[in-house]
């Protein structure tokens, strides 16, 4: 199979490299010349574990190439994936489909022979219809089908997720296109990955329903955590107690500072908007969006409280800036709201993140950055664990106790047991867990 992957970002690059690894011939297209130049020189523009080697191997075997020339890549392809961004539209929160539609127009002009055009980007219900209309209008002569194939990979574990998916959803309204998609994913038959073939609109909605459900689960346990704090219960034990029930499941029951990242915030909002537009508002998800938004700011207030009610003139050390570990993605990271809230309260911020600092510097140029957790904490009035990177899981508390100005730890990911940290003279505050005396 010859595949053109339009958009070489977190999803496009991983999907393209994995398809190449399955044995397909893949050309990744991006209209950002700097990104393509980096890839051609063997540099990976994002941090994703394992991606470096996977890309290098497949480039070496001539199965994976990069270009800014969409026309030649599409003309040569049997299948064209659209994996461009669909961020929230400024102002109203609907998905901004301008990148998808621009790609569709460019693809239309370049089509030769029967081609399946696949939206891998997360797009609202009906986008496939519009992509089809755009291509048909530009190229009434073209032989093509438009299919939806939403992507469920998680940053930080993207290659494993792509190669061993829980399921593959293919929204195809015609059998010929569904057959082509079966060929694309045939290498996964060995892994017995369930392939669900649905209508196109169903596939589009499935992606939003999945993300909204997961966001709801996180938000639920976050609110239970708040209640735990009020009643002296332990949210980690509650989570285990409910998670062992198979109907509930133990995943996504970790209380924290609120969900962030490049998907949940924008996808929940887009689903809310779509549902409102259709006259069937999904009130549950509306509440999830509102609760999560408030939570990120509330985390700044929690830190202020842990610092005795004021952070004015104090130095707060933050460990972790990305929205989760093992990615450099800073999009909608809770750290952005937490930093803003602390700065509004008069704090100075010093931060360290193993992979996110380059990206963070563009978004937060006015905070100090440290090379490691210990220089970050030196002389600080509080240490806050924002992201649970492995590098923060075994901190030397004796060393930190000696070097910090004030021994306060706010653990927004419940990485530590409070007593273990308190033993070193720290005032420890977690999420939904008792604070040691």
Q: Name the site residues for ligand NAD (rule: CB under 6 A).
A: 6-12, 29-32, 35, 70, 83-86, 99, 102-103, 106, 121-122, 151, 153, 155, 262-263
Nearest to 426 by CA among 435, 302, 166, 316: 435
- Residues in binding site for NAD(+): 30, 35, 86, 122, 155, 266, 331
Q: Which residue is nearest to ligand NAD (CB)?
A: 9
Q: In whole angstroms, what separates CA 5 from the centre of its chain?
A: 19
Nearer to ligand NAD among residue 61 and residue 98 (C-beta): 98
* Count of beta carbons in the 10 Å neighbourhood of residue 1: 17
Length of the chain: 437
Q: Among residues 170 and 410, whose Cβ is nearest to ligand NAD?
A: 170
- DSSP letter assigned to residue 87: P
- For every residue of 12-69, DSSP letters joined together read HHHHHHHHHHTT-EEEEE-S-HHHHHHHHTT--SS--TTHHHHHHHHHHTTSEEEES-
Output 182-190 pairs: Cβ under 8 A, ≥24 positions apart.
183/1, 184/1, 184/3, 184/19, 184/24, 184/79, 187/22, 187/23, 188/22, 188/163
Return the SS3 of 173: coil
Q: How far is the CB of 328 from ligand NAD (least distance, A)?
A: 11
Given the complex with ligand NAD, which of 86 and 234 has the nearer CB atom? 86
Taking alpha carbons only, the member of 113, 108, 112 closest to residue 136 is: 108
Instruction: Note if 307 is an active site residue.
Output: no
Minimum distance from residue 250 beta carbon to ligand NAD (Å): 22
**Which one is catalytic: 18, 263, 307, 376?**
263
* Helices vs. strands in the chain: H and E counts, helices first: 17, 14
- Please identify, using beta-carbon distances, which residue of 201 and 297 lies nearer to ligand NAD: 201
Residue with tokens 């021994």: 407
77: how many CB neighbours lie within 10 A of its CB? Answer: 27
- Name the binding residues for substrate: 152-155, 207, 252-256, 260, 324
Q: Which residue in 186, 121, 124, 179 sits closest to 150, CA to CA? A: 121
Least Å distance, CB 151 to ligand NAD, is: 4
Asked if 292 and 215 touch (Cβ cutoff 8 Å), the reply is yes
Annotated binding residues, written as ranges, equal 30, 35, 86, 122, 152-155, 207, 252-256, 260, 266, 324, 331
Q: How far is the CB of 208 from ligand NAD (least distance, A)?
A: 10
CB of 400 to ligand NAD, least distance (A): 33
Cβ closest to ligand NAD, residue 127 vs residue 335:
127
Catalytic residue annotation: 263
């Amino acid at each position: 199979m010859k595949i053109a992957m339009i958009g070489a970002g977190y999803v496009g690059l991983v999907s393209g490299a994995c398809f190449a690894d399955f044995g397909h011939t893949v050309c990744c297209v991006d209209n950002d010349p700097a990104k393509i130049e980096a890839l051609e020189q063997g540099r990976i523009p994002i941090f994703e574990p394992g991606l470096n080697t996977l890309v290098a191997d497949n480039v070496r075997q001539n199965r994976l190439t990069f270009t800014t020339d969409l026309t030649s890549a599409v003309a040569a392809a049997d299948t064209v994936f659209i994996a461009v961004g669909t961020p929230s539209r400024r102002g109203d929160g609907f998905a901004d489909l301008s990148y998808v539609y621009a790609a569709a127009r460019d693809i239309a002009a370049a089509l030769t022979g029967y081609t399946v055009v696949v939206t891998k980007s997360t797009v609202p219900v009906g986008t496939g219809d519009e992509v089809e209309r755009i291509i048909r209008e530009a190229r009434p002569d073209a032989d093509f089908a438009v299919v939806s194939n939403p992507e469920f990979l998680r940053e930080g574990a993207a290659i494993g997720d792509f190669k061993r998916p829980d399921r593959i959803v293919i929204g195809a309204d015609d059998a010929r296109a569904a057959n082509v998609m079966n060929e694309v994913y045939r290498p996964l038959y060995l892994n017995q990955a369930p392939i669900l073939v649905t209508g196109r609109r169903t596939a589009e909605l499935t992606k939003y329903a999945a993300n909204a459900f997961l966001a709801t689960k996180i938000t639920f346990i976050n609110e239970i955590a708040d209640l735990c704090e009020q009643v002296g219960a332990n949210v980690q034990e509650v989570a285990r107690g409910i998670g062992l029930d198979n109907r509930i499941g133990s995943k996504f029951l970790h209380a924290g500072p609120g969900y962030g990242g490049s998907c949940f915030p924008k996808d929940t909002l887009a689903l809310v908007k779509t549902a409102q537009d259709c006259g069937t508002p999904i009130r549950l998800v509306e509440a999830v969006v509102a609760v999560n938004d408030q939570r990120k700011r509330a985390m700044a207030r929690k830190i202020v409280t842990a610092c005795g009610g004021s952070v004015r003139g104090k130095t707060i050390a933050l460990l972790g800036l990305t929205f989760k570990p093992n990615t450099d993605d800073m999009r909608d990271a809770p750290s952005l709201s937490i930093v803003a809230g602390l700065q509004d309260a008069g704090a100075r911020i010093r931060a360290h993140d193993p992979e996110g600092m380059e990206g963070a510097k563009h978004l937060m140029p006015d905070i100090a950055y440290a090379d490691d957790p210990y220089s970050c904490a030196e002389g600080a009035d509080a240490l806050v664990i924002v992201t649970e990177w492995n590098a923060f899981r075994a901190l030397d508390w004796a060393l930190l106790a000696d070097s910090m100005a004030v021994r306060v730890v706010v653990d927004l990911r419940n990485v530590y047991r409070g007593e273990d940290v308190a033993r070193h003279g720290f005032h420890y505050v977690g999420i939904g867990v008792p604070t040691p005396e």
